[in-house]
Every structure is written in C-alpha cells, then in structure tokens.
Structure 1
Amino acid sequence: MRNPLTRLWRGPLRAPAEPAPAEQKSSRTARLIRLEPGGTARWTPRDYAALAREGFVRNAVVHRAVKLVAENVAALTFLAYEGDALHERHPLTDLLARPNPRQDGAALLEALTAHLMISGNGYLELVSLDGTPREIFALRPDRMRVVPGPDGWAQAYDYTVAGRTVRFAQAGAPPPILHLVLFNPLDDHYGLGALEAAAVAVDTHNAAARWNKALLDNAARPSGALVYAAPDGAILADDQYERLKRELEASYQGAANAGRPLLLEGGLDWKAMSLTPKDMDFLEAKNSAAREIALAFGVPPMLLGIPGDNTYANYQEANRAFWRHTVLPLGARIGSALAQWLAPAFGAADGRSLRLDIDTDRVDALAGDRAALWERVTAAPFLTVNEKRAMVGFGPIAGGDGV
C-alpha cells in the first residue's frame, strides 16, 4: 500500500492552480478572415457617394425603385412574440414605433432600407440608459468603418464626420451597433447593394437621358457639317470661321430656335452626319436599361412606369409578386435582426425566444391571398376549430379542439 506520508517528501505544498478559463467556441477559419491587424479600421471598398449621386439623385428609375421598396418596408407592422405568445404591446415594438425624438418608426425603417438598397449595408446605433434601450438612430454607411478583431469579425466600428471619429466597441449585450449586410460573395465585412449591381445599366440610362437633353438643346435635329465649297479651293479665314460659329450658337441652337431655317451663303452647304434616334434605337436602349435597373432592385418594371404589358390584371400580379418576393423577405430579415439584437435587453420571459413577425393581415396587396386561404380553411371539414384558427394566424380558444 502507498504510504500517505510520501507526498511530504516532495517539497513544500503548492497553491492550487487557477481554474482554466471558460472555453470559447470559434470557427477554425476565423484566423484566415483577419487579413489586416486587429484594431485597424477597414475602409469601404467603393464610393458610396458616387453611387448615390449617379443613381438615387440623378436617375428617376433608381430613385423610384429605392423609394418604392423603402416606403413599403417602412409601412410594415411588426408583432412581438415570445414563443407562441403574442404580445399586444411590448417594449420592443414601442421602441420601434418611436425610436428617437426626431424620427418615427417609419422614417427610421425607410432610411435603413434605403441604405441597404444603395450600399448593401445598414447601421443602427442603440442608446441605452441604465441598461435599458432608449433610442435608435440610423447611421450613414459611408461614414462607418469596420474594425476587425482577432477572430476576424468586427470588434468595433468607427464613425467619422468632419475629421472627428467616434469608436463603438461591440461589447455588452446588446452591442451599440447593429450592422445589416446584404450578401456579398467577394467581401467578408461589407455587403453588396442593388445599386452597385445595376451600375452599368444606370450609366447607360443616364447617358441616354443626357443624349436626349443634348438633342433637345440642338433643336431636336441630328448634328451635321457646314461644307464650304469655294470654286477656287479657298478656305475660310479665321475671323470668318469664328463669326460663323457664333452665329450658329446664337441663332440656331436651343429650344427657342427650334425649327428656324438655316441661311447659307458664300458656297456653304449643310451635310447631315449623325444617325437618327430611329437608327440608334434610342428609346428601346433606354427602356432596356431601365428594366435591368428594376430587375436588380426586385421591382416589376410596370410598377415603375416602364412600357410593357401594363394591363390591370398584370399590374395586380406584379404588385403581389413585388410584396411576396421583395418587400416581405427584406422586412422579415430586418425584423429578425432587430429582435436578435435587442432581445437580451428586454429579457424574454421563461427563457422563450423573442421575435418580430410581420402582420401580413394589414397588407392590402395580399388581400386576395388571404381570401383564398380563408375559403380553403373553411371548406376543410377534417380540421378542428383551433387548427383552422392556427392556419389563419389566430390563437386557440377553449373547446376548439373538436371537429
């Protein structure tokens, strides 16, 4: 048998070792994502201001597409659920209804959605008092910089305005910044906006608009050349050449001089040189670019007034498809991100998860779908009352388990 006193011969007793720190799970690829030193701001890889200026500011199709998506997402009504329990009123929905003193909930969601459509990134700042969320603000994407941490993901965000920078460390629950990102296959930190994907179509559409404007400025006539055919092969003197240019600009260019006859003298002859709008298929090229823009933003072309099969039935189907495939998925993603971000601050009761669901019963564009669902549910005799109520979004009632 082992002598218990042998442990005394091994020297003085040592203090017990400190417990090992709690194990933290992390992706094995995280160290590969961090391509720059931790704590260094990573600048956005594209010019947000140029995209917004050429697209949203100067292009009517982009402007309307962004507004159409943003305004409809902002008009959605979110319902707060904890598990299967619906809250008629919840602090989270109250905060979203009045996020800050200068904006209502619709204005905040519209700004956030517009930022997502233009840049692929949306940022929200949370202001808390004594651990309780009080206000939410939407921040401009071009002013925000991601600061990657040792694990490759954002450990902080730098917000810069007029040379002054504020750093938001992503510590605490919830963190002060929510970063919404649209999928980008070429970037680990920043999203890809619909406007960048449609940049070529936007440039084409803008060029067509400028060409049309220049055509109107030149009396809506194709440009040509004044040919001087002197019998002895002489050429115009410099003063004659400059005088002719001044007379053309002053008397024959612009909308006020449209249709004015051109008076030629001294062997001058007019020769048309450029192609006509018909030859260039000008209108079709412009409409094709507009359709590509609408496609990138997920908006049916007829909702933007682009010529096509604009019958009433097709318009209804296009509007329903727009809500089903663009507005509702984007709104659901924003609601899910908000709930996951703010749930720790509100402490869901009984450990049940807090989520935000869209109240589709308030969407007029889906009224036909709801009517069809109610008709099918009503005509199903094998379902119980509570099963029928669950299918149309209502809670169970006492005695409703019978057929």
Structure 2
Amino acid sequence: MLRKLFQTKAAQGDVAHKASAAGPVIAWHGAGRVAWSPRDTVSLTRTGFAANPVGFRAVRMISEAAAALPLILQDNHARYDDHPLLSLLRRPNGGQGQSELLEALYGQLVLSGNGYVEAVGGAPDQNGAPLPQELHVLRSDRMRVVPGADGWPVAFEYSVGARKHRFAVGDVSPICHIKTFHPQDDHYGLSPLQAAAMALDVHNSASRWSKALLDNAARPSGAIVYKGYEGQGSLPNEQYERLVSEMESHHQGARNAGRPMLLEGGLDWKPMGFSPSDMEFQKTKEAAAREVALAFGVPPMLLGIPGDATYANYQEANRAFYRLTVLPLAQRVTAALGSWLSHHTGDALQLSPDLDQLAALAPERDAQWARVSAAPFLTDDEKRALLGLPPRVTQGGDADG
C-alpha cells in the first residue's frame, strides 16, 4: 500500500528531489581513513596479547611476578602458618596449584579488567558456614553481570556457546568478582588493552608492513647501472647472463662477504639505503611499543625496547615495576580474595603478599625495619603494627601490651 502511494505521488510530480549544493565538489576517495581493530575483549586479547610480542610479554611478566609472591594469612591476633584456607590456596583444584590459579586470575584481570573466581562448595562446618572445596578461575569474556532493580548484581551468567549457567548471589556469593577502576561502567573494569588499543594497532601494522616489505618489495643493497658503451642502450643477452652468473658465484653468500667487485666499462655501482621515511617508520614502531608498555605499567627496558639500559637503571626499573605495578595489583586481588573467603568461614581474615620475602624490595624493607626499630617512643606492638605484624601473644593467650 505504501509503495503504491509513493509511486502515485512520484507519478504526479509531488515528490521533491533534494540534493546538497556542495555535492558536485565532494572528492570521493577511500584512502586516508584509519582502520582500527575491534575493541571487544576477545578481539583485543587476540590482537594485543596473542598477536603482539610487547603485550604478550607485559601480561606474562605481570601475572607471573604477582603469582609468585608468597602469601600470608592473619587476623587481628595471630598469623597462621597452617589454615584450611591456606591449604585450599595451595591446592585450589585437581588441575592447578596456587601459582597456576593466581597466574590465570591475574592474566584475566590484566587482559580484560575483570577477574572471576568460582567457589565449589562442600559440607558446612561446625558453625554452619559452607567451606569451599575447590576454586576455579572463569574466563571473563564468557561472564555477564546481571544487575538487580537497585543496580547491584543479583547473579552472574556464564555462557559457553549456546549453554548458560546462572550463579545466584545470596548471602555468600559463589563468585568473587575482582575488577579494575572504570570511570564509565558500574559493573565491569577497564582493561589496559583498551587504553593501549591505538598503540597496539600501530605496532601490529608496522610489523605487517615490515613483513610485506621483505616479501614483496625488499630494498636491495645496491644497483648496477649500465651507462651505455659504444652506442649500445642495454647489455647484450650474453653479457647480461655472464654478469648475473659472476654475481651469484663470486659476490653472494657468507664466504664472499666484503669481496671487491670489478666492473667493466659502462657499468656503475649505486648503493641503496633506507630513506628518511623508512627510518622514521621504525621510530614510530618503537614509540608505539613504549606506549603499550606504559599502559601496562612495565618499564620499557624490561621488555627489551631500545633505550638507555645500564645495570643501575635496570635495577631501579625492576624495583619500580614491583612497587608501582605488581604490588598494587597483588594487594588488591589478595585483599578481595581474603574478604570473600572470610565470608565462607565466618572469620575476619586478611590475605596479603609477604613483603619481607620479596627480593626486589629488600633494600626498602631493610630501611623500614631499621627506622621502626630505632624509634624508642613506640611500643613493641606499635612497631609490629607498622611492619604489618599482629600483636605478640603471651603464654596466657592474650596480646602483650
């Protein structure tokens, strides 16, 4: 009916054809438009981690360093060397140990800005609290937060293909959701890959350009130019074949490196090098690699990016890497895990990295211990509190004040 109506109006001349006055002067072309890669989690992981050496190494360095930190479990009264939660963390499930589980969790958090840990519950203890028997890290790209009417999550939905499983959030959630800060999202964290997406595209494009240059248009080291001899405009076929044969037999390969070349009349050697634009292109690739390292918080020299790298600078870069990147991430994750697991046990437990066993920060810890020990106006318990230690316990079981 609508088609008939429009056809009738068009036949009667009632439809007005409008066009822009600037239309005839628009230059139609497709070149010059920037093509960016997709920004979803799966695509960013593929292009920024699986297909980029800088992003791959940065994520591995952060996740491996954070997972290798020794952990301590304590409450307001004592530090535990043996506890059911420590045993659970040492062997979280049948296929993973503590390092593997934490490395997977840190990797998911760095790649997507979100980390999810599932607690597989067991039999309740004497206090009625369900103690987890296993812990599993779930892929963040498969998890969806289901918000309630008040905006807080009421469930987590995990999807694998067409199958979905819903984790209901009750008094004790079976899912521990750890996320980074995101200023424009209430339920999901912001991944460093999002901030480094443009630099990753530039770096990957530069690598593809270099590969294409080698495959299709690699610049030769030089050219033999024929200037003409006795009125001839080009080399005869016989002389050309002889010249090619001599080049292959006397001037190619490692054993002929540096051998001087004897050119007959009419032949001239023109060396070729990289143009200024080619050299600037390489600098652009290195700058993009530095931006990727900056987004992840890894000093460029630790990733092998060209620059000043003396031994003293490397030591300082390694210390800054632990102090500014690894420790804040590990403290955030362990605090969230400790608080979540405390809800299962009903105890007020604190899980944190053991800074005294971290070799990279040994000079700073030695200075802190010496400074606190030399303060005569502090009690022993105050000194222990400053060092992150619980109060001393007397033989009667009370804290020694």
- 1:341-389 per-residue CA deviation (whole Å, 9 max, x = no partner) reads 11121121xxxx2111210111110111122223334544555555555
Shift of 1:205: 0.4
Residue 390 of structure 1 and its aligned partner are, at CA, apart by 4.8
| SS of structure 2 residue aligned to 1:375 | helix
Q: Could you tell me how far apart the structure 2 residues matched to 1:339 and 1:112 are?
A: 14
Equivalent residue in structure 2 for 1:121, among 95, 114, 122? 114
Q: Give the aligned residue type for 1:371.
A: D
Helix, strand or coil at the partner of 2:165:
strand
Q: Which moved more, 1:310-319 or 1:388-397?
A: 388-397
**Partner residue, 1:102:** 95
Report the residue type matching 1:327 in the other structure.
V
Distance 1:383 1:178, change over 3 A: closer
What SS is found at the alignment partner of 1:281? helix
Separation of aligned partners in 1, 2:385 and 2:279: 58
Give 2:45's aligned amino acid. A
- 1:191-246 Cα offsets, whole Å, 9 max, x none, are 11001110000000001111111112236318xxxxxxxxxxxxxxxxxxxxxxxx
Per the alignment, residue 363 of structure 2 pairs with: 368
SS of the counterpart of 2:59?
helix
Deviations 1:1-21 (A, max 9, x none): xxxxxxxxxxxxxxxxxxxxx
**In the superposition, relative to structure 1, how do residues 155 and 286 fare at CA in structure 2: closer, same or farther (>3 Å)?**
same
- Identify if the C-alpha distance between structure 1 residues 347 and 316 changes in structure 2 by more than 3 Å, giving closer, same or farther: same
Instruction: Name the counterpart of 1:168.
Output: 167
Task: Name the counterpart of 2:70.
Answer: 77
Match of 2:176 in 1: 178
Range with bigger deviation, 203-212 or 377-386: 377-386
Is residue 52 from structure 1 mapped to residue 50 from structure 2 by the alignment? no
Kept in 2: contact 1:118–1:195 (CA 8 A): yes
Structure 2 counterpart SS, 1:79: strand
Could you list the per-position Cα deviations for residues 274-300 of structure 1 after superposition, in whole angstroms to 9, with x for gaps in the alignment?
Answer: x83655502211111011101110111
- In structure 1, the gaps of 5 or more residues are 1-44, 223-255, 257-274
Residues 230-282 of structure 1 deviation map (CA, whole Å, 9 limit, x = unaligned): xxxxxxxxxxxxxxxxxxxxxxxxxx9xxxxxxxxxxxxxxxxxx83655502
Match of 1:356 in 2: 351
| Aligned partner letter, 1:202 | L
Aligned match of 2:319: 320
CA contact (8 A) 1:386 1:397 kept: no
Q: Is the 8 A contact 2:39 2:197 kept in 1?
A: no
- Offset, 1:313: 0.8
Whether the 8 Å contact between 2:72 and 2:354 is mirrored in structure 1 is yes
Residue of structure 2 equivalent to 1:61? 54
Matched with 1:111 is 104
Question: 5 Å matches for 1:206-245?
Answer: 206-218=204-216, 220-221=218-219
Residue aligning to 1:346? 345
**Aligned Cα RMSD in Å?**
3.1
Residue 187 of structure 1 corresponds to which residue in structure 2?
185
* Cα pair distance change 1:298/1:132, threshold 3 Å: same
Instruction: Give the SS at the match of 2:118.
Output: strand
Identify the residue that residue 276 of structure 1 maps to in structure 2.
275
Q: Structure 2: how far apart are the matches of 1:191 and 1:387?
A: 37
CA distance in 1, matches of 2:196, 2:111: 10
Please list the CA deviations of residues 174-199 of structure 1 after superposition, one character each: whole Å capped at 9, or x if unmatched.
x1111111111111111110011100
- 1:302-355 per-residue CA deviation (whole Å, 9 max, x = no partner) reads 11111112111111111111111111111111111111211121121xxxx211
Aligned partners of 1:91 and 1:346 also within 8 Å: no
Q: Do the aligned residues in 2 keep the contact of 1:198 with 1:292 (CA within 8 Å)?
A: yes
Q: String of CA shifts for 1:92-147, please: whole Å, max 9, x gaps.
A: 22211111100111111111111111111111111001222101101111111111
**Matched residues in 1 for 2:69 and 2:50: separation?**
25
CA distance in 2, matches of 1:170, 1:143: 18
Q: Residue in 1 aligned with 2:330?
A: 331
The separation in 2 between residues aligned to 1:121 and 1:382, in whole angstroms, is 45
Contact 1:115 1:140 in 2 (8 A): yes
Contact kept? 1:112, 1:123, Cα under 8 Å: yes
SS of alignment partner, residue 322 of structure 2: helix
SS at match of 1:158: strand
State the partner residue of 1:16.
none
Distance, in Å, in 2 between the alignment partners of 1:397 and 1:81 is 13
Q: Distance in 1 between matches of 2:343 and 2:382?
A: 32
Contact 1:147–1:154 under 8 Å retained in 2? yes
5 Å matches for 1:248-327? 276=275, 278-279=277-278, 281-327=280-326
* Aligned amino acid, residue 98 of structure 1: R
Gaps of 5+ in 2: 1-37, 124-129, 221-252, 254-273, 395-399
Secondary structure at the counterpart of residue 64 of structure 2: helix
- Is contact 2:77–2:393 with CA below 8 Å preserved after alignment? no
Q: CA deviation at 1:162?
A: 2.4
- Aligned mates of 2:277, 2:72 — CA distance in 1: 54
Q: Deviations over 1:46-69 (max 9, x none)?
A: 522111110110100000000010
